[in-house]
């Protein structure tokens, strides 16, 4: 049970730049364990592109995915700073404070901030 979910990384984002991200809840069908993960990449022109790639991968592992919203991430690896902001037109705004807590687990030595700014 827990091992497959543990194998899914909390965070997968591009190492540098500004790009769209989504906050996704993974859940076992019928309830039980659930967790939230962050995915973001410059390769995605729209937020749903990220979800459409992630969803089948997670379904194979036996999870239901629900997108909790989106936004943008500005990742500055040189200065070790991440800024979370903006929103997704299709999915609405993710709770950026939740996103920041998840990012902090993966980027422990970073300064990570969020705002409701559009840019």
Instruction: Calculate the alpha carbon distances from 6 to 27, 29, 80 in Å.
Output: 13, 17, 26
Identify whether the C-beta of residue 66 lies closer than 8 Å to the C-beta of residue 22: no
Determine phi and psi for 38, rounding to 5 degrees.
-115, 130
Is 47 considered catalytic here? Answer: yes
- Calpha distance 67→20 (Å, rounded): 13
- Calpha distance 29→8 (Å, rounded): 17
- Nearest-CA neighbor of 74 among 18, 6, 113, 12? 18
20 in a labelled binding site = yes
Catalytic residue among 47, 49, 75, 96: 47
Catalytic residues: 47
Residues at the binding site for substrate are 20
Task: Name the binding residues.
Answer: 20
């Amino acid at each position: 049970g827990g091992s497959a979910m543990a194998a899914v990384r909390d965070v997968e984002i591009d190492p540098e730049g500004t790009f769209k991200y989504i906050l996704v809840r993974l859940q076992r069908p019928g309830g039980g364990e659930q967790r939230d993960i962050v995915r973001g990449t410059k390769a995605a022109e729209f937020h749903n592109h990220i979800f459409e790639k992630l969803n089948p991968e997670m379904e194979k592992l036996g999870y239901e995915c629900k997108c909790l919203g989106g936004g943008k991430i500005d990742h500055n690896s040189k200065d070790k700073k991440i800024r979370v902001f903006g929103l997704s037109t299709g999915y609405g705004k993710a709770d950026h404070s939740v996103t920041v807590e998840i990012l902090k687990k993966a980027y422990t030595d970073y300064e990570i901030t969020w705002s409701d700014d559009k840019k």
